[in-house]
Structure 1
Amino acid sequence: MSPEITNYIGYAASFFVVLSFVLKDIKKIRIINLIGCIFFVIYGIYSNYLWPIIIPNAILCIIQGYHLVKKD
């Protein structure tokens, strides 16, 4: 993948994570944050496997997904 597209993925990831801090509804926060984390995992993979970015964001994806599907 071209470095330019990789950068856009990183910018999108940052945008979604920051946007998740603006929202008030917890479900929307989790969904938007999950999207940002997924973009960060993709960004880390296409940036020659940046493990310090991939690992925590993959863990956050699992956590956000768990909270979105669990029944209260």
Structure 2
Amino acid sequence: MNYVEILGYLAMITVSFSFLLKDVIKLRFVNAIGCTLFIIYGLLLGSYPVVGLNIFVACTNAFYIFKELKNHSK
């Protein structure tokens, strides 16, 4: 097993774990970390559909995290 494959498994575990969280902000934050790992994994493999999807999901997570934090601070 090489480091790229290990990175893929780590990304998979992180994204999977995020769906077990009840707090939506924590879920999105952990999921964004997993997406970032998948982006790196996809780049290392040259798999641009994996990269593109995970960039979209990470940006969506970031948008809603910042939106919620902004609303929460009011």
TM-score, normalized by the shorter chain, greater than 0.5: yes
Aligned partner of 2:44 in structure 1 is: 46
Distance between the aligned counterparts of 1:38 and 1:8, measured in 2?
14
Q: Offset of 1:21 from its aligned partner? A: 1.0
- Which residue in the other structure is 2:60 paired with? 63
The TM-score with structure 2 as length reference comes to: 0.87
Q: What runs of 5+ residues in structure 1 fail to find an aligned partner? A: none
Tell me the distance in 2 between the aligned counterparts of 1:58 and 1:4.
24
Deviation at 1:51, TM superposition (A): 1.1
The answer for the alignment partner of 1:13 in structure 2 is 11
Q: Structure 1 length as normaliser, TM-score?
A: 0.89
Q: Deviations over 1:21-63 (max 9, x none)?
A: 111000110011000000000000001x201101010001111
Percent of aligned pairs sharing the same letter:
33
Count of aligned residue pairs for this structure pair: 69
Runs of 4+ deviating beyond 3 Å? none
Q: Rg bigger for which structure?
A: 2
